[in-house]
Amino acid sequence: MRDLANDLELALQVCHFPPGTSPGVPGFCFITKNWRGRPLTSYETIVNLIGNTTTNGLTVRAALDANRYQTGIEVSDEELARVHCTAATFHGEWNYTIQPRK
């Protein structure tokens, strides 16, 4: 994100929903209604249920990202210090702005 902010020379506002609050995501209620208690037996089932959700005005698309990503990557204090972050006034632990390098 730091590199993207620098490349675009734009401030990037990042907002995360806290754990357990996915119903706050727009369209989540439509996705859950579409599931109607069907067992989520595979990734394909999940992607198809999400992708086949219809609403008034909201376009829902879903695709499975089958790439493998390394886990356990740690960011050093020095690396983090090079990111120009400003915490938001509302829940700064989840919401912040990454400023581009001057």
Would you say 60 and 54 are in contact if contact means Cβ atoms under 8 Å apart?
yes
Q: Is 30 exposed, middle or buried (0-12, 13-18, 19+ CB in 10 A)?
A: middle
Parallel, antiparallel or unpaired: strands 84-87 and 12-15: unpaired
What does the pLDDT average to over 9-19? 80
66-82 mean pLDDT = 90
Mean pLDDT of 65-81: 90
Mean pLDDT along residues 69-78: 91
Q: How confident is the model at residue 82 (pLDDT cuts 50, 70, 90)?
A: confident
DSSP code per residue over 13-55: EEE-PPTT-GGGSTTHHHHHHHHTT----SHHHHHHHHHT---
Query: What band does 56 get if pLDDT is binned at 50, 70 and 90?
Result: confident
Mean pLDDT of the chain: 81
| pTM of this structure | 0.49
Mean pLDDT value across residues 65-93: 89
Rg (the chain; Cα; Å): 18
Query: Among all chains, which residue has been given the structure tokens 């996915």?
Result: 22
User: What order do you get walking across the sheet with 84-87 strand by strand?
Assistant: 12-15, 95-99, 84-87
Neighbours of 90 (CB within 10 A): 8
Write down the pLDDT at residue 19.
56
Q: What pLDDT shows up at residue 27?
A: 63
